[in-house]
Amino acid sequence: MEYRKLGNTDLEVSVITFGAWAAGGWMWGGNDDKAAIEAMKVSYDLGITSIDTAPIYGQGKSEELVGQAINGIQRDKVQILTKFGMRWDDIKGQLAFKSKDNDGKDIDIYKYASRDSVIKECEDSLRRLGTDYIDLYQIHWPDATTPIAETMEALLRLKEQGKIREAGVSNYNVQQMEEAAQTINLASNQVPYSMVKRDIEKDLVPYVIEHHKAILAYSPMERGLLTGKMKPGQQFGEGDHRAGLKYFKDENINRTNEFLQKIKPIADEKDATLGQLVLRWTVEQPGITIALAGARNADQAKQNAGALNLKLSSDEINFITTELNKLQLVD
């Protein structure tokens, strides 16, 4: 496994970090708790020492499962990355969207990151995770109702108290990062990035390179699309958020699979899967520090960890990128 420091901090995390969104079940059509915990444990054994989660993932469930998975591991040998600012248990801030919890009950999700709310959320996360500090604490989405400085001041206080090691943001644009940086040193920005979603290359990537910040790429497999295992007519279970995304239209599945077949010989030559090739290409891109990869079971965890056994030459990376640039998805 490889490890990289986040920006200009001393916090070092595994280049493939375990993404625990699906572990919470919410928006993924449910999940097997026992299998999710086993996936995290197997990942750790294979060198994936970092886990990214959030309170909103299953309304606390994902964090609780992470806490169970790391129980018994020496605390300084694992890095916990979690978030705040998405409230389902209060009606303050900006309504983000309406949803249903794992029991099918209607819930309203609010973006809210006031000083008091951040402090409360941190305490709740520490309790669910069963730890006394969080390695990287990230605002989940921008909150238009709270000044960025107020949110960052709360993070500064938590850092001074030793409850968090480093502060990060998620889904922030360059302007928002610049504003946040006036109050606190940011380690990173967690944003969506994949072979079929590369818009951050225009402005965010140049910014983080210049200012020595890290990018944590989430959904690098585009929620399973880039495994090459999806076929037209793909059926999703009730509550699975992927059903309404453009990437999973039959035409886009076809076009993506045609691209993947073009690069498959590289994976075959290295005795690797397409998914492993995709992850390796992702973490080789300029400005991309970490790729978050979820796993529902131990086998998927082993597949993700194997991505970093793969070595790509500059010619191979360039070939993949050249073919990728020809791929056009329909809206």
Percent of the chain that is helix, strand, coil (3-state, to 5):
45, 20, 35
Q: Rg of the Cα trace of the chain?
A: 19
H or E stretch covering 100? strand 94-100
Catalytic residue among 3, 44, 57, 112: 57
How are beta strands 106-111 and 86-87 bridged, if at all? antiparallel
DSSP labels for 182-230? TTS-EEEEEEE-BTTB-GGGTTHHHHHHHHT-EEEEE-TTGGGGGGS--
Dihedral of CA atoms 206, 208, 214, 217 in degrees, nearest 10, equals -50
Q: Which two tokens stand for residue 179?
A: 């504003």
> Hey, which residues does 186 pair with through a beta bridge?
167
Phi, psi of 15 (to 5 degrees): -60, -35
CB 288 within 8 A of CB 217: yes
CA nearest neighbour of 219 among 7, 28, 58, 3: 28
How are beta strands 12-14 and 3-5 bridged, if at all? antiparallel
> Hey, which residues does 110 pair with through a beta bridge?
87, 95
H or E stretch covering 12? strand 12-14
CB 68 within 8 A of CB 23: no
Is residue 133 flagged as an active site residue? Answer: no
Catalytically annotated residues: 57
